[in-house]
């Protein structure tokens, strides 16, 4: 994620843009806005398995992992909205009630998802999906994680200068399954000697982690808007509350937290795309 932000700021350098008025991000873009504030605090004014799988090397074959991409998009699409919104749009209506039920896409919601998945997988690069997904999984602005990443970047400085070249070793991807299924394994900590055990880290679940507070210190003087949506199941509202509270714990006195309840928006994660009044109004008021 941070490498993506660095690439964005290289583009700003080439465009001759020294400072940003604001960094506005939704969904993954929200992660990038936080990362931008941590990496470049001085440059802002305001921050806000498929059968055709080839380990990414399919450009020459012309056969992308179509089936997996389509299924991934269909599953993801369900999570972009809320249950009540899907119910209101489609309910249990069938695409063609005059025909006998079939095992192929039959309900109206199924045909919608099938079309959305088919259209998307023909336009989106599977490698891009993998990198975006992995970047979100690994995103961590905690102080210890950032220290580890900075050390790794320093160790690989020469490789980073040769960006664009493919490292054959890095391209390998494998999965080794254990002899015993995960759900049947005993607690791994039970197999460790008492002397080898590390003390468990105890913290109040209602308090932000100290490591994250330390990691977000570069944002301690940055006016920040955090906006959550109660119907969002991908980036749940409690996470936005935690982000706002963490920023306040850094000493930031200019944190604005807004939460749109289900009575105001049932669009789920896609609220930032569809609710111009609730989201757009909040962003406008904050920037003004």
pLDDT score recorded for residue 190: 44
Distances from the Cα of 60 to the Cαs of 67, 130, 133, in angstroms?
Answer: 18, 19, 24
Q: Is the pTM of this model over 0.85?
A: no
pLDDT score recorded for residue 141: 92
269 noted as active-site residue: yes
Q: Given pLDDT bands bounded at 50, 70 and 90, which one contains residue 199?
A: very low
54-138 CATH, one of 1.10.150.120, 1.10.1740.110, 3.40.50.720, 1.10.645.10: 1.10.1740.110
Q: Given pLDDT bands bounded at 50, 70 and 90, which one contains residue 172?
A: low
Q: Which of 27, 114, 145, 211 is catalytic?
A: 27
| Segment 181-191 mean pLDDT | 51
State which of 5-19, 147-161, 177-191 shows the largest mean pLDDT.
5-19
- ∠ CA 15-17-19, nearest 5°, is 160
Which helix (H) or strand (E) segment holds residue 226: the answer is strand 224-229
User: What's the mean pLDDT when you consider all of the chain?
Assistant: 81
Q: Which of 23, 33, 82, 269 is catalytic?
A: 269
Q: Given pLDDT bands bounded at 50, 70 and 90, which one contains residue 285?
A: very high
Residue of 78, 81, 74 lying closest to 119 (CA atoms): 74
| Segment 221-242 mean pLDDT | 92
25 within 8 A of 224, measured Cβ to Cβ:
no
212: pLDDT strictly greater than 50:
yes
Distances from the Cα of 12 to the Cαs of 9, 19, 129, 209, in angstroms?
Answer: 5, 9, 24, 33
Instruction: Tell me the pLDDT tens digit for each residue of 146-163.
Output: 999 889 888 887 776 666
pLDDT score recorded for residue 225: 95
| Segment 186-213 mean pLDDT | 59
Instruction: Tell me the pLDDT tens digit for each residue of 18-69.
Output: 888 888 887 888 888 888 888 888 776 655 456 666 666 667 766 777 888 8
Instruction: Tell me the pLDDT tens digit for each residue of 263-280.
Output: 788 888 889 888 899 999
Q: Given pLDDT bands bounded at 50, 70 and 90, which one contains residue 195?
A: very low
| Residue 101 DSSP symbol | P
Instruction: Tell me the pLDDT tens digit for each residue of 82-109.
Output: 888 888 888 888 888 888 888 888 889 8
| Segment 231-259 mean pLDDT | 93
128 noted as active-site residue: no
Q: Which of 23, 82, 231, 232 is catalytic?
A: 232
């Amino acid at each position: 994620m941070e490498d993506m932000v660095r690439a964005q700021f290289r583009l700003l350098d080439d465009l001759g843009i020294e400072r940003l008025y604001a960094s506005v991000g939704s969904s993954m873009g929200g992660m990038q806005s936080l990362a931008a504030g941590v990496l470049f605090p001085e440059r802002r004014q305001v921050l806000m398995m498929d059968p055709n799988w080839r380990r990414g090397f399919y450009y020459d074959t012309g056969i992308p992992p179509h089936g997996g991409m389509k299924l991934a998009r269909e599953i993801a699409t369900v999570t972009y909205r809320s249950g009540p919104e899907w119910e209101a749009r489609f309910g249990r209506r069938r695409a063609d009630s005059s025909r006998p039920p079939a095992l192929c896409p039959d309900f109206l919601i199924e045909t919608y998802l099938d079309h959305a998945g088919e259209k998307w997988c023909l336009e989106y690069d599977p490698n891009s999906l993998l990198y975006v997904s992995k970047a979100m999984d690994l995103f961590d602005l905690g102080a210890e994680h950032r220290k580890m990443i900075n050390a790794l970047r320093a160790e690989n400085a020469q490789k980073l200068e040769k960006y664009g070249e493919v490292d054959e070793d890095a391209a390998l991807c494998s999965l080794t399954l254990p002899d015993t299924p995960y759900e049947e394994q005993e607690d791994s900590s039970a197999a460790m000697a008492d002397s080898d055990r590390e003390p468990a880290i105890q913290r109040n679940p209602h308090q932000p982690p100290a490591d994250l507070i330390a990691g977000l210190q570069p944002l301690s003087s940055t006016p920040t808007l955090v906006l959550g949506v109660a119907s969002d199941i991908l980036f749940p509202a409690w996470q936005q509350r935690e982000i706002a509270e963490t920023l306040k714990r850094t000493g930031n006195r200019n944190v604005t937290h807004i939460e749109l309840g289900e009575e105001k928006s049932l669009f789920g994660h896609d609220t930032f795309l569809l609710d111009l009044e609730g989201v757009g109004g909040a962003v406008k008021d904050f920037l003004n």
